Amino acid sequence: MKLIYFFITTFAFAQAENQHTTLWNLFKNVHNKQYNNLQDEQYRFGIFKNNLALINQHNLETDLGLHSYTLKMNQFGDMTHEEFARTMLGGFKMPSDSSTKFVGRPFHPPSNVDIPAAIDWRQKGAVISVIENQQQCGSCWAFTATCALEGQHFLKTGELVRLSAQNLMDCSGKFGNQGCNGGLMDSSFQYIKVNKGIDTEASYPYEAQEGDCRFNRSNVGATDTGFVDLPQGNETALQIAIATVGPISVAIDASQSSFQFYSSGVYDEPNCSTTNIDHSFTLVGYDTYQGKQYYIAKNSWGDTWGNKGYVWMSRNKNNQCGIASTGSYPLV
């Protein structure tokens, strides 16, 4: 009997390992992964299997009604969570120099305005369809700044122009931004105001590293006249701003391992912090799904992450993940 059990266990293990190997080869092909040597690849394969187990466990719990969102394997599947956090998070960074801490105008909600139950600025043409990919660079702050300004520029002029995050990366250092080491959307809006414009993405494409400033005034795609800061932690004001203004730049705590592999559904993470903010993106709408209120957030990790590059963040759950802690938008 023990011998039979041994053979059954060995066979099951071999089947599982074969399945893991098949999935690993697919993962490498889909995400164009290459490794320095066999030892490095075996190490990454081990991480991949651990992440796959985490994803499968979470999704089983979702099927049992324990979560409101699912996870999936993505381009971060061969990274430990510590590596992921070190590489992809930390892009939201407050300036260390008080001279580069800029304060926007206070938000004054319009009076006697009926706020819709749901809104999606993508459907109104105010959001670029391309999902940006910051790659292994802490430049989320630049992409949320350009996304918010793209929306405001469209709503004022009727033109949807893709703007250059690289322009901000290379040229806004004097305003407190630090390239791949992080920055702030407010500092970006201030730079654009003082600089009297930002170049288009077509004229100044993204390179995922900081370089020399090559701003060319003849390629300016949009301008701003300053920015507005939303009241900290006020989700009512945030909803009103999204409904009446357009896409809004925000930052969150994205440090939970569940966020690394988010796939679909309303992201509800009780372990999120409202103060340990480390990642920026743009809210382009809000809605409700199966009784759960959520914000529609456009991320900058490519379209293989999340729901084609988007995540539904929990709304009106005590400022979960700090979603309403740092909201702002440019004035045009």
Decide if 20 is catalytic.
no
Any long-range contacts for 285-292 (C-beta under 8 Å, 24+ apart)? 285/118, 285/119, 285/120, 285/121, 285/122, 285/242, 286/118, 286/119, 286/239, 286/242, 286/243, 286/315, 287/117, 287/118, 287/119, 287/120, 288/117, 288/118, 289/265, 290/68, 292/68, 292/266, 292/268
Decide if 276 is catalytic.
no
| DSSP element (H, E) containing 39 | helix 38-63
- The whole-angstrom separation of Cα 301 and Cα 258 is 15
The sign of the torsion formed by the CA atoms of 146, 79, 265, 131 equals positive
Decide if 51 is catalytic.
no
The active-site residue, picked from 67, 133, 137, 140, is 140
The active-site residue, picked from 74, 167, 195, 299, is 299
The active-site residue, picked from 177, 279, 316, 321, is 279
Q: Which residues are catalytic?
A: 140, 279, 299
